[in-house]
Structure 1
Amino acid sequence: MDRPNDSQLPPPPEEQNDQQPIQVVPPTYRTLYLILYNFVSASLWSVILGRVLLITTLFGYSSVHFGVADFTRWTQTLAALEILHAAVGLVRAPIMTTVMQVASRFLLVWLIAYCFPATVSRSPAYTSMLLAWSVTEVVRYSYFAVNLAYGGVPFWLTWVRYNAFFVLYPLGIGSAYVLFTHMMAQRKKVMRSLREKKDV
């Protein structure tokens, strides 16, 4: 009995001898490093996402800064490696774009959230910014890790990677803008107070 050409059954033994064996190419150290880097980054941002959701649910948004700020700051600092990755050609990313993206986040975690904790903790914008960042980064780093490890990405992950930004990007940018304007208002208040003390 003849099998149809599209049958899922294995070919008869005489046909198997004509086929070339599949060669498995071991991953390079570069690929292994990038898989590890992306896996670790996705895991760290997953922890931030979980902590933000848990703290917000149990204690409210005003407790989020004190519960995750240090962990977020150091997790974001790890992203400085992405500048190095782009600079040495480990990844195909434009160096200036990478520098601008990492620097903007550094501004928020090191100069605003770190220097003005009381101002940041009073604003729900810090919580919404971390939610936007953490979901974005979990998806992004997971996408890269899966793609490098398996040579492809499931449809759903690709869809989320390229569509979630419609919601997450405006949320992240809007939250950062609110934090920045709060910081500028705080700066103005401090500078006015210093001038008044100087005039006395």
Structure 2
Amino acid sequence: MASETETSAGIEDGVRRRDFINIAAVSFAGVGSVAVVLPLVNQMNPSADVLALSSTEIDISAIQPGQSIKTSWRKQPVFVRNLVPAEIAEANKVPLSELRDPETLAERTKVGKENWLITLGVCTHLGCVPLGAAEGEPRGDFGGYFCPCHGSHYDTAARIRKGPAPKNLVVPPYDFTSDTVVTIG
């Protein structure tokens, strides 16, 4: 009778050992698969130089009311404009029915920061860089921007008002990281 107990205990131990070996083999194969796949997936991530260009920080503390600057993001010009109350009022009084691409100034700016208008400096007609961001440049018939290539006129909210451009100047994704720093991208 003792031999029957030993045999059944031996079979039980054998099954347990076999299960352990199977689990260990599958675990080892899983770890090996991850070790092979991880570098393949990781090589598809953008490189450090591409990530560096994906966003840019701008210090806006030196931009006085009524002034604007040109900077760049993703190799495209960006206009950052500090609107004065008169420009904001002028943009808000324009009926949306008069606009080719109807957008309010509030839709083009951040809540609480309505005086900061940030747009790509690329005309939506054929990609020229409009004038009006630098001191002394012509601002067109509506006091915003003027594209010298084909005569598109933008208002103080960078909305198309006259000329061949089909859309307003594009507002890129941006956030205020502090009262004086804007991150674009």
TM-score under structure 1 length normalisation: 0.27
Determine which structure has greater relative contact order: mean sequence separation of CA pairs < 8 Å that are 6+ residues apart, divided by chain length.
Answer: 1
Larger radius of gyration between Structure 1 and Structure 2 = 2
When you count strand as a share of all residues, which structure comes out higher? Answer: 2
